[in-house]
Structure formats: C-alpha cells, structure tokens
Chain A
Amino acid sequence: MFSSPSTPQLQRPGHVRHCKYCLFGLPGTQVGLDASRLAIVFYCIGTLDLLGLLDSGSKPHEREEWRRWIWEQYVVSEHGAGFRPGPFVVTAVDGEDKSRSTNAHDTPHIIMTYTAVISLSILQDDLKRLDKKQLLSFLRSCQREDGSFSTIPGSTDSDLRTTYCAFAIFKMLDDWSGIDIPRAVSYIQRCRSYEGGYGQYPWNEAQGGTTYTALASLYMIPEAVQSSLRPQARLTDVERAQSVRWLVQQQTEAGGFSGRTGKEADACYCFWCSASLDILGAGHLVDESAVIGFMGQCQFKFGGIAKAPGEDAADPYHTYLSLAALSLGTARGATLPDESWKLEPLNPLLNARTSVAEWAQAKMSNAQ
C-alpha cells in the first residue's frame, strides 16, 4: 500500500529558479544540448506557464527577449520554413541576413518548430510572422517513402517523435494538405508491439514516450479523415484494452511510471504514460496520490525535478514533464496534498496548457 505521510509542498519558487537559471545560461557540461536549445527554452518557459508564474516570475523585457530569440531561429530554406534549434550552424556574420538559410545545413527542424510554436504561444505572440505555405512545404519535404517524417529535410533520421511534432503542427494549422496521412498512419501502426505500446521504429520494444507520440498522433487526425481510413487510425476495442493494460502496468510501486516493462520509474514517464491514458479515455485509472508522492521525492533540493528520487541533478525536461503530468492529475480531480500542487489544466494531445493550445490553434489556423 502506498502511503505518503509527509508529501512536501510543490517547490514552486525552486522550480521557477531552476528554469530561469537555465534560460540565463547552461554550463559547458551541457554542450550536448547545443543542437536542441530551443527545446530547452520550451521546457523552461513551459514550466513557468504550467505553474501559472510566467507573469510574476519574469519581467516583460525578459519575455520580450525570449520571444525575439525564438524568432531569430525562424529560417526560410529552399525546403520551406520553420525553426532551427539555435544558431549552432548559422554561418552569417554580423549584419548579414539570418532569416534565410545561411548554408545548405542551416535548415528548420520539425521538433524544434513544434517547441517554438508552443513557446511563442505561451508568450502570446500573434504568430503573424509564420508563413503557412512555407511551413507546410517544409513539413511535406520531410515526409519519407515509409510515411515517417525526418527531423530535417533530406535526412533519413526519422522516428515517431518527429511524426508527432509534424502532426501537432498540422493540427494547429488545421491544414493537412499535401500530407500522405494513410502512409503516416501505417508507419505508426507498424511501430505497435505485442505488449500494447509502441516502439520508436517498426519492430522495436514498447516504450512510454513513443507510445504517447503514437497515440497522440493517431487521435489528432481530423474526424473527416479518420472515418475514411482503412484500417482505422484509432485503436480497436481490443487494441485499446491492451494498451490501457500496458500503460497502467507501467506504474510501479515507487509511485511513478516506468518507460518499459520491468524498468525503474522515471518522472518523465508519469507524463508520457498518463497522458496516453488520457488520450484513450482512461486517465482516471492513474493512482494520482502515488504519482504526487513520487514527484515529491523527485524534487531536487536546489530546485527543479529530477528523473528519479535520489538523483543528483534536476533538468528542465523532467521538470516540465513532471508538472505536465501533475496538470493532468489536477484536471482529473486528484486529491492534492495542498494547494501548492494545483496546476493549470493541460491539453494532453498538444502538451500545452489548455488556453495556450487554444491560442496556438486560433493563431495558426488563421495564418496566411
């Protein structure tokens, strides 16, 4: 029986501080994030947003700087437009135009484009600078023969994460034109494993993160398209029961969720697995107090949330996803230890606060 006699408060000021430190600068040991800086920016800004502390935890000029930096990553390439991870391969020097590809490798990146759009929506940017036609042609140029999407144009580096980010953008644009949806769906279905989860590529082991990206993708497809697909994109009753079983099986005695059968609980899978359950209409099956107890132990003493209790460092990725999981729990009516654990509601498909998701959809579907 799980018991949490003394669940600490959610350390809100500490989590804000952790993310603001990261936005201010990352140590050299984090050089591995050089090619995904925009994603880190998203996790940090998203953390402030889910805590409802964006306005009180940052100054208007800071938010303006974040917004401007994100737009600086917007790049129009020969394959269309989107966002790059950061300036790491920009070869223009001061004064030269950086809004167009500065060399053949300076291209937009699908995952970064998704995180940029959500981040800008958090910052209430009107997204008017987005060129919808160019954005769509970038995404189209990334779809591969097997239906998957590469992260950047012309690459063969593709897996379900990229499909998810592409689908999220189509959904926000409310425009799926020029995309081969049946082929994309068939790729996702090929990633399904006998356990009821999805692997990263066809034939791989079921894993919580890729299961989320698979399910969210399948359930984002517009109703009109859904009904014409054979086999259907959404799960059959038998498949759904099997997936729900596998997902609830990932919640461990420690309270959190593991990413694969038999592995240790990890804070990020509390989001990936419980959001997947939400998508399947089974979010109410999560043991919420066990998740909260687990998160309480994952909080790092200097702020931020670590992947597991006893880890010696927190990071924005685990911090954001933990809070996202708690947001879903709040919305499901979880019994909270105290008010500090109450978070803003989240859209489980787009992984953004509900009103941010609405903002993004409203602005993008009107984009020219």
Chain B
Amino acid sequence: MTTTTTTDLYSDDPQWVDVTPIPQYDGINPVAPILYTDEYKDATDYFRGVLKSGEKSERVLELTERVIRMNPAHYTAWQYRYQTILALGTPLDEEITLMNDIAMDHLKTYQVWHHRRLILTQTKQAAQELAFLVKVLGLDNKNYHTWAYRQWILSHFSDDDLWRHELEFVDSMLRDDIRNNSAWHHRFFVLFEAGVRAGDEDREALARQEILYSKERISLAPNNASAWNYLRGVLDRSGTEYSSLAGFVEPYAGLPGPTASDADTIDTENPAPQPGARLPSVAALEFMADVYEKQGGERLADARKLWTSLAREHDTIRQKYWEYRSTAAGKL
C-alpha cells in the first residue's frame, strides 16, 4: 500500500523531473474558480502531465491516490488509476485494502463505490465485501451508496453462499434500528426482488411469514412508516387483500376490533399494540380507510370518516391529500 504525505510537492521531487507539469487552463476570466491548495494544484498539474504523456506506472498510482485523497470526486483520476492498475497488473487485493481505507473517509462519494465495482468485476471476491459492508454500515446505517453496492454485489454475483446469511444480516440491522428504511428496503430486495432462494420456493408461505414479521414490528413501533410500507409491499406483491388484515390493524387505528372483547386471549397472529403506544397510528387509519374504500358502497362513508380525521386531526400536513382521497374515492 502506498502512503503519501501531502506536504511534499512533486515539483520539488527529483523523481518527477522528467514529467512536464501542465497548469490548468482556466480561460481569460474563470467562473467559479476554486482557490486550490498548493498541494492540489501541484498534484493535478502533474496529473495533467501524465494524461498527456500516457504514462502508466507505479508512481502514477501514487499520484492518482494523492489526487483522489484530496478530491475523491475527481472521476478522471479514478478512471486513469483503474486503467493503470490493469496495465501494470497491480494485485487487486492491495487495491481493495487501500479502497477500504478511502471508502471509510468518503462514504458519500459516487466514485469511491464505482471504482470498487470495477475492481470486484475483476476479482469476483464478493464474500469478503459483505463483511466489509457490515463494518461500513456500522458507521452510517442508512448510507445510500453502501446499500446500493451491497445490492449490486448480491445480484451481480448471485451465488447461494453469498445469499445464505443475508436475512440474518437484515434482521440484525432491523434489531439495531427498527426505523431504518434502508434495511426494510433491503429485506424486500432479498426476499421478493432478486430471485427465489432455496427454502423460499413456497411464495405464499413466505408472504405469510413476512406479514407476521411486519405485524410484530408494527406492534413494537406502530408509527413506523417503514414497516407499514413494507407490509403494503408484501401484500401488493403477494396479491393479499388488505381487508384480510383488518382485525390486526383496527386496534392500531383506535377502532373496536371484532375480537376486542376477548382482550385476555393473546393472539400470536395479531399482536396487539403495547400499553402506552401513541395511537391511533396514522398509517393504521390510512390502512383501514383503504380497506373500506375497496369494499365500497356503504363502507365509503367509513373511509371518509377516517380521511377526515387524518386531515383535521392526526396528519394535518397531508390535509390536502386526505381531502383529495375522500373526493376521488368511488370515482375510479
């Protein structure tokens, strides 16, 4: 692994004396010019020199690393680095080690992850990536690029060993943060979007399992939009009627459920809200209104009652939306 200290300038380095640096041409009156540091100006002057000469060498790897560390969004430095790696036959595991370090510092930069995809396309060492990503998500559990990269790894290399522990991984992410929508999304991706895994061939059983999973999570946090959206996703994907969940949802909407009188029996299929939960839950009201709307006829009035309570009391920021739902109902 190369190391650089940004205080040494290439212009002072005798080893670079054979490269002609090319200063940036910025026009007669540059617009939005960046007041570069001396180190950045120096490194990019030499980088332009290298671009012109076409040199691909060990020292170019060091140069591109220096540019990238100062500006990880410098896509040409990345692209040139990748070409140099291929030309030199640089060991790709070393590159990944270096990238682990750079990724940790620049999680939100596109190029960091794009470069990694390119390297992985060559090495195909996908298994260790999943472990690395667990570490990265420990720093930022909703980092978009990291999740996107994990989804790419799984779908691109798609072998059973890779997938084997994915559900456990999602479970642990959701245990840590039940409101992490990225993890909920990933769960849907794993179970419903990316092919059928061994053991998951019975899609109806899988849907039942996931409906129960959602219910349990909703009972822990009834106002968690991510869990409700996931539940809706599972229902939509499996073609399950929303009305089949009415008995579960009603207590969360503050409505008397059909079995409300049997408060003493514990229904494991329909976990009840926890004492002290903030109810009614907006998502539950919305859900029940959807159920009533679908049933139509006289139930439309019940739907409208719920939309009105959302608009006026429970979810006033979406007042216009709930009023629109009420107006549009029955017209489609």
Contacts and interface: CB of A to CB of B under 8 A. Distances in A.
A-B pairs with the 6 shortest C-beta distances?
A: A194-B233, A205-B185, A69-B31, A261-B181, A91-B52, A65-B29
B30 interface: yes
B37 A31 contact: yes
Contact of B75 (A2, A22, A31, A157): A157
Given A28-B35, A32-B72, A261-B181, A203 B151 contact: yes
Among A30, A34, A36, A70, max chain B CB count under 10 A is at A34
B70 interface: yes
A26 B80 CA distance: 26
A156 interface: yes
B318 interface: yes
B52 A152 contact: no
Interface string B271-312: 000000000000000000000000000000000000000000
A340 interface: no
A53 interface: no
Contacts of B40: 28, 31
Given A156-B118, A262-B179, A284-B320, A28 B144 contact: no
A351 B31 CA distance: 22
Given A31-B36, A93-B25, 10 more contacts: A25-B33, A37-B32, A89-B48, A157-B111, A194-B237, A199-B148, A201-B152, A204-B147, A260-B182, A285-B318
B27 interface: yes
B32 A26 contact: yes
A285 B320 contact: yes
Contacts of B318: 248-249, 251, 285, 287
B157 interface: no
Given A103-B51, A287-B318, A41 B31 contact: yes
Contacts of A33: 32, 34, 73
A70 B31 CA distance: 8
A41 to B, nearest CB: 5
B219 interface: no
Interface string A215-252: 00000000000000000000001000000101011011
Interface string A185-221: 0000000011100011111111100000000000000
Given A105-B51, A205-B182, A261-B181, A28 B118 contact: no
A194 B228 CA distance: 12
B51 A290 contact: no
Given A36-B73, A98-B25, A263 B142 contact: yes
Contacts of B31: 23, 37, 41, 65-66, 69-70
Given A152-B75, A199-B148, A203-B155, A252 B32 contact: no
A300 B152 CA distance: 38
Contact of A35 (B76, B142, B316): B76
Interface residues of B, number: 74
Contacts of A26: 32-35
B132 interface: no
A94 B192 CA distance: 58
Nearest to A194: B233
B213 interface: no
Candidate in A40, A66, A92, A195 with the most chain B CB atoms within 10 angstroms: A195
Nearest to B177: A262
B225 interface: yes
Contacts of A66: 31
Interface in B89-142: 109-111, 114, 117-118, 142
Contacts of B316: 1-2
Interface in B59-82: 70-76, 79-80
Determine the main DSSP class of B at the interface with A: helix
Interface residues of A, number: 75
A286 B44 CA distance: 46
Interface in A34-51: 34-37, 40-41, 44
A262 B189 contact: no
B200 interface: no
Contact of A207 (B25, B37, B144): B144
B48 A91 contact: yes
B240 interface: no
B88 to A, nearest CB: 18
Contacts of A255: 317
A155 B79 contact: yes
7 contacts: A26-B33, A30-B34, A37-B31, A152-B75, A157-B110, A203-B189, A205-B182
Contacts of B55: none
Residue of A41, A244, A248 with most partner-chain B CB within 10 A: A248
A195 B76 contact: no
Contacts of A106: 51
Interface string A75-104: 000000000000111111110001000110
Nearest to A98: B25
A72 B28 CA distance: 10
Contacts of A290: 317
B24 interface: yes
A327 B215 CA distance: 42
Interface in B143-184: 144, 147-148, 151-152, 155, 179-182, 184
Contacts of B44: 34, 88
Contacts of B148: 199-201, 204-205
